Structure 1
Amino acid sequence: MRANHYGSAAVVSSAGHVLCYVYLLHCNILKARGFGLDTIPFNEVQTSISMDLVKSGPNVSANITDMKTRVSELAGHGPPTYPIIGCLISFYKNRTRLIDWYTELIAESDTNTIVINRLGTRRTVVTANSENVEYMLKTNFNNFPKGKPFTEILGDFLGYGIFNVDGELWRIQRKLASQAFSTNSLREFVMSTLEEEVENRFLPSLESLAAASAVVDLQDLLRRLSFNMICKVSLGVDHCVLDPSQLVSPPNKAFDMASEICAKRGAAPLLLVWKVKKWLGVGSEKKLRDAVEEVHAYIEEIIRNRKKKMDESQENCGEDLLSRLILAGCDEEVIRDMIINFIMAGRDTTSAAMTWLFWLLSCHPVIEQELLKEIQKNDKILSDYESLEGLKLLKASLCESMSLYPPVAWDSKHAMVDDMLPDGTLVQAGDRVTYFPYGMGRMEALWGKDCIEFRPSRWFIEPSHQGGSLKKVSPYKFPVFQAGPRICLGRDMAFIQMKYVVASILRQFEIKPIGSEKPIFVPLLTAHMAGGLKVLIKKRDHSI
């Protein structure tokens, strides 16, 4: 039956006006849960209202107060929300600082969870509650896939790769990737590639920059290094230019363009805008199409050449992921999409984490000196896994940096069926449910009152003894590498690369940022520092 605000709800003895008011509250509850006015089940609402009034007897006002509380609980904590447009006004006002706005709202919420309703999108639940994160990523994993809305945003770029699919297609790729990442030969290949790239290219480049006293963008340097590393490990090719005076390679630039535009699709106040632009083939969507075509052409040519070489030589052409996927008999399109996904995962995440760490160390010279001592204790040779494992303070510093400035600021799933999170937040089928690592790193409930301070000692069992053992922190409290069945397979390799690079730089060079302004955190598909990190590189007087 069609709901009618002015009809049947007006006749329950002398409390008719009260019944109308309560009915409107129930309508608001249902609207908050995704129902349109035409679909509100009036008979059920009327029965519920009548029972509420009967239970309250003469104390109607007390009942109404209680019902207001229930409306608030169902709607969830969030920004000011209005009919039809939702929180579009607040969203637009805060569009340049969304993550800090969300963090402020979440910090004000008793459950560290908020609900966002805005025009043109499904209801969005954003949480920094570790119990909710565990529930989404593990306990009820099957109810929270990526979902069509997410895969639609990234589909043009990531295709049917492992980070953009669900169900059986994800399980098949996950199994293939897991087998590849678990081999000792791949770990050895990563270590040898890392040593060659850093010692023979990256450090000599820093030597030249230090000798010239040139101001350089450290973020750009680290991104070039990371892109070259991931291309060698994934594709077995070398197309990156480490010299900052030379232009970024075309494939690298195309990756930048595609990832940036895809990220802006998801953050747009009105999602319909990018869909119209795509249909018309104009503006940013035309740039995205061109960038994706360039990336596809680049990867596909490498795949064809590698397959031809392998067919002709009848030999395994290398230990890289591409050779492994070809030997596994994967279709070319599947290989292309998987490789693009792996490059995206490994290209910017490590460089972003290292960039923020160097800035934080410049603000905390005492911690930097402690790191230098640790590196000295663990010998100058860092190219073996065991030596890198001994750099505990460095790992703690990286974790602390990523807690405050996570490479992936937030990640979204979409509920398959109605659900309730552990903190009592109601989830409707189709709702977007986002866990928020950036906000989690700023929650007192998780990290204490000093949560926004850079304090690596919090990662040790005994905070005052940084030579001790590291804590085993729940991945649901620190989900920068995801957690549960979709936990990042390259997590250990990422730490190996970051430790090796940071230790190699620190023991030979001083990194001095130019200017005193706090950098701006930009959360795209992977986060970065707005404008980069301009630094002077100085050779240390006594290399350790």
Structure 2
Amino acid sequence: MLSIGVRYLLRILPILLLPPISTAYLLSAIGLRERLYAPLYVFISFLSLPCGLVLIVQWSDYCDKRQARKLDAVLPPRVKDSTIGSRNTMHSMIDNFQNGYFGENLTEWARLYGPVFNLRIMFENRMFTTEPEHIKSILSTNFNGFEKGSHFRFQFGSLLGTGIFNVDDELWKFHRGISRPFFTKERISNLQGYARHSDRALARLTERLQSGYAIDFQDLASRYTLDWATDFLFGVNVGSLESILPYPAASRMNAPQSMLTPADAFVQSFSAAETAASMRTRFGPVWPLLELRRDKVKQHMSVVYDFVDPIVRAAVERNRNREPEQKASNEEELTFLDYLVQHTQDMTILRDATLNMLVAGRDTNSFLLSASIYGLAENPYVLSRLRTEILDAFGPTGTPTFQDLRALKYLRAVLNETMRMWPPVPINIRKSKEAALWAPVAPGQKPICVPARTKVSFSVLLMHRRKDLWGPDADKYDPDRFLDTDERYTKYLAPNPYIFLPFNGGPRMCLGSEVGYDQATFFLVKLLQAVSEIALAPDAQPPESVPTWKGREKVWFTSHINMYYKGGLWVRMKRADGMEG
């Protein structure tokens, strides 16, 4: 089977050959072929290729300007780059992803050009914005004017397939309709799953504390959320918490790769696939040419499918053995996957839907818990105040009810502030279906034109850190800003709720947002009943994951599809009974 890069090259080859062939034919038609030295004839013919590309780019720019004039609007300012194909811009995107503080280059461009600008890579326009009204338009008020688009499906098809995060229109509505019944209050208010899996996670945490070694909390959270997600969504607990937890590299106690469990292998391979898919976006439209030999995402997916396929086949078999009257009578007892199997037998759709729901149930919640621990480790006052709220409500051993979870106002503020500083999905991508208008960024200015069929990117991470939207202390971690008694809440957030979008907004808003809150709240309650102090363990952090910057986060946060900590989040904790780890 041809690689994704070769298929792309074959698709564009006729377009690339058209100018040279047309020029050669023209030279022959006017009688110049016989008069020209043969190599010169070939050279002139192929010279038409770059000339043709220049004309195409100029024509595209002219059409965009004409659309803007027709709408009495302006185009966003373009990031200045004199290199051919804006190679410097592309290299900046790649270098920031691999070596820099996440989004620092975008922040600098926003400082130079304003909150909306044209980030052009390899002759392709990409409108970038951190303006709340623009993001609201994309997600809500002009929802039908934007889509994920064929380019997104092409880039992420090897990873997400036909799942809910990678489709539009009827297939998206199908996935959304299937998923919605599994996030009703009746289903998510059952805390037994949280209790069962958090108890096991905290037992593993205690074992590590007693051993005297630091623990990679991101790894623990990943295992906890994976076990919970597979149990809740698919009726199968994959038992990743039963595996050997990683030790600091210096301890030389880590198990060899050959001893990885299927769950561990899945996590590693899927993370590698996510990174490879994310890198494609940094290269603009030419990324397939870098994958002529092989699909760099697909090479990791066989291990992922080995993990997911048995779960799908088990659900198909359960459905096959279920009597018709059982299918109609016990719908409330069905898992998400059982319910999906009743609506389609397409194995590709079943596998892709399963994988997409794992992304939603594991990746985002895992990072929310990890980032919360980082925020508490770096802000002991917040940790102390949060423990006081928890102990006042439940004592050292009490278990919260579903209603109790919603009553912990300071804990909710801590989670909100964590997601303001480090939203699980920091950047999102769409494509305009037709020309769209965005509100001007300042009074008296003309609206901004987004030409038809143009890629648009928006960053809630950068929006969450804008000082004009959140106040002069926007770069400070302070949960109080989310309490309605705080003047910053009244001044900034209350009149403009779209400045805070940790779970997206509009019709594509995350169905599991309240599940994310509840899961993190329950886990933190049980954790902080047992733990009184949390501190980073820089000696355990892998050297290659130690940040190169100063005065900012002390661990290296980055993103593929979702945010994560490079090298993990290594911490030590002091238990409430005085034992350290």
What TM-score do you get using the length of structure 2 for normalisation?
A: 0.75
Structure 2 CA distance for aligned equivalents of residues 122 and 41 of structure 1? 14
Q: Offset at 1:109? A: 3.8
Counterpart position of 1:100: 104
**Helix, strand or coil: the match of 1:85?**
helix
User: CA-to-partner distance for each residue in 1:274-321, whole Å, 9 max, x for gaps?
Assistant: x2354422xxx35x3243233234323222222223433535695421
Q: Distance in 2 between matches of 1:445 and 1:515?
A: 34
Change (3 A) 1:390 1:39: closer
Letter in 2 for 1:413: R
Alignment of 1:112-191 (within 5 A): 112-119=115-122, 122-182=124-184, 184=186, 186-189=187-190, 191=191
Secondary structure of the corresponding residue to residue 476 of structure 1? helix
Q: How far apart, in 1, do the equivalents of 2:131 and 2:146 lie?
A: 16
Cα pair 1:378 1:390 within 8 Å, conserved: no
| Residue 542 of structure 1: how far off its partner (Å) | 7.3
Task: Give the conservation status (yes or no) of the 8 Å contact 1:406–1:438.
Answer: yes
Spell out, residue by residue over 1:57-87, the C-alpha distance to the aligned partner (whole angstroms, 9 max, x if none).
Answer: xxxxxxxxxxxxx99x635153545554363
Corresponding residue to 2:523 among 498, 501, 518: 501
Q: Secondary structure at the match of 1:74?
A: coil
Q: Which moved more, 1:78-87 or 1:340-349?
A: 78-87
Give me the identity figure in percent. Answer: 23
1:536 aligns with 2:540: no
Choose from 524, 539, 544 the match for 2:560.
524
Amino acid paired to 1:488: C
1:90 CA displacement:
4.6
1:247-290 CA-partner distances (Å, limit 9, x unpaired): 462222332222222122223x35424x2354422xxx35x324
Q: CA deviation at 1:41?
A: 6.8
Asked if 1 retains the 8 angstrom alpha-carbon contact of 2:163 and 2:353, the reply is yes
Which residue is equivalent to 2:432? Answer: 415
Unaligned stretches of 5+ residues in structure 2: 1-54, 247-254, 441-446, 540-546, 548-553
Note if 1:366 corresponds to 2:381: yes
Query: Following the alignment from structure 1 to structure 2, what is the Cα–Cα distance between the partners of residues 114 and 138?
Result: 21
**Amino acid of the residue matched to residue 428 of structure 2?**
D
Q: CA deviation at 1:100?
A: 1.3
- Whole-angstrom CA distance in 2 between matches of 1:99 and 1:36: 28
Match of 1:299 in 2: 308
* 1:155 partner amino acid: G
**In 2: Cα distance, 1:465 partner to 1:427 partner:** 33
Counterpart for residue 220 of structure 2: 221
Q: Which amino acid aligns with 1:501?
A: F
What secondary structure, in the 3-state scheme, does the structure 2 residue paired with 1:412 have? strand
d(CA) in 2 for partners of 1:182 and 1:404? 29
How far did residue 147 of structure 1 move?
1.0
Give SS of 2:110's match: helix
Aligned partners of 2:111, 2:498: CA distance in 1, in Å?
Answer: 18
Instruction: Kindly provide the amino acid, as one letter, of the partner of residue 121 in structure 2.
Output: R
Query: Is 1:427 the counterpart of 2:429 in the alignment?
Result: no
1:272 equivalenced with 2:298 (yes/no): no
1:462 aligned partner? 485
1:195 equivalent in alignment to 2:195: yes
Q: Is contact 1:511-1:536 (8 Å) kept?
A: yes
Q: Distance in 2 between matches of 1:496 and 1:534?
A: 24
Structure 1 residues 515 and 291, CA, compared in 2 at 3 Å: closer, same or farther?
Answer: closer
- Distance in 1 between residues matched to 2:60 and 2:493, nearest whole Å: 51
CA distance in 1, matches of 2:93, 2:319: 53
Any idea what the Cα deviations from partners look like across 1:378-433, whole Å, max 9, x if unmatched?
A: 21534421111111111111111111111111001011112221123321122111
Q: Which has the higher contact order (CA 8 A, sep 6+)?
A: 2
Deviations 1:21-73 (Å, cap 9, x if unpaired)?
xxxxxxxxxxxxx963357779x99xx9xxxxxxxxxxxxxxxxxxxxx99x6
The residue matched to 2:86 in structure 1 has which SS? coil
Deviation for aligned residue 1:168: 1.2
Give the RMSD, CA atoms, in angstroms. 3.2
Aligned partners of 2:471 and 2:488 also within 8 Å: no
> Retained in 2: the 8 A contact 1:481–1:487?
yes
Counterpart Cα distance in 1 of 2:221 and 2:347: 30
Q: CA deviation at 1:205?
A: 0.9
Deviations 1:215-262 (A, max 9, x none): 111111111111111111122112233241464622223322222221
Whichever residue aligns with residue 487 of structure 1, its letter is M
> AA paired with 1:299?
V
Q: Which residue of 1 aligns with 2:394?
A: 379
Q: Which moved more, 1:94-103 or 1:210-219?
A: 94-103
In 2, are the aligned partners of 1:214 and 1:537 still within 8 Å (CA)? Answer: no
**Is the 1:230–1:347 contact (alpha carbons within 8 Å) kept by the matching residues of 2?**
yes
TM-superposed deviation, 1:192: 1.4
Cα distance change, pair 392–77 in 1 and its aligned pair in 2 (3 A): farther
1:335, CA displacement in angstroms? Answer: 2.1
Q: Counterpart of 1:340 in structure 2: which amino acid? A: L
Question: 2:417 touches 2:478 (CA, 8 Å); kept in 1?
Answer: yes
Q: Which moved more, 1:80-89 or 1:257-266?
A: 80-89
Contact 1:85–1:118 at 8 Å: present in 2 too?
yes
211 and 499 in structure 1: CA distance in 2 versus 1, 3 angstrom threshold: same
Report the 3-state secondary structure (helix = DSSP H, G, I; strand = E; otherwise coil) of the residue aligned with 2:394: coil
Structure 1 208/413 Cα, relative in aligned 2: closer, same or farther at 3 Å? same
Quick check: 1:399 aligned with 2:416?
yes
TM-score (norm 1): 0.80
Q: Distance in 2 between matches of 1:117 and 1:404?
A: 27
Cα deviation for residue 332 of structure 1 reads: 3.1
Segment of structure 1 superposing worse, 251-260 or 324-333? 324-333
Structure 2 CA distance for partners of 1:148 and 1:542, relative to 1, 3 Å: same
Q: How many pairs are equivalent?
A: 474
1:59 paired residue number: none
Equivalent-residue separation in structure 1 for 2:358 and 2:451 (angstroms): 34
